[in-house]
Amino acid sequence: MLFANQRLPLISVSLVQGKAIGGGAEICTACDFRLMTEESEIRFVHKHMGIVPGWGGASRLIQIIGPRQALKLLSSAQGIHPEHALSIGLADDILSSTADKAMEEAQTWISSYTKGPAETIRAIKKVVTSGREHALVDSLRKEKDIFGTVWGGPVHLQALSKVLKRN
């Protein structure tokens, strides 16, 4: 499983091959996107251990799939297979590759979201993180501030130049 936190400045993805159980399920929720191979499973087994998620997995799960679905997954401790995970929004895609090719397929999948100037991708990630973590009025203010960091910058000016040349 690849892991990167949602608070990182760039886009992160988890690739579930096999079983992501307990803490592994929590780690999945910390990424921006979740990809699963056909034979994989995510399972929040905390109930069977007499505990609840403690690494932020429950709170993030609620944000990702909503409180009703999160209650079902946490209180049932059932395994979530790729098709179900996709249908409730826990997974973003199911990869059809064999285990040895899944990483390559995942890199191809994520590349459409990460292609482009790192400065712009970081700014997009900041705007989304702010919108997720702050009240609307604070998020709007933060978005304006982030916009100011890229407006008129080298990447923006280069993009404008290309558009003007085409017209």
The domain segmentation of the chain, as residue ranges, is 13-114, 118-166
In degrees, to the nearest 5, what angle opens at C-alpha 40 toward C-alphas 34 and 43? 80
pLDDT tens-digit readout, 9-37:
889 999 999 999 999 999 999 999 999 99
Q: Indicate the pTM of the whole model.
A: 0.83
Domain 13-114 of CATH type 3.40.640.10 = no
**What is the C-alpha to C-alpha distance for residues 82 and 41, in angstroms, rounded to an integer?**
7
The predicted model gives 95-109 an average pLDDT of 89
pLDDT at residue 2, as a whole number: 41
State how far Cα 20 lies from the chain centre: 16
Please determine, for residue 121, whether its predicted confidence score (pLDDT) is greater than 90: yes
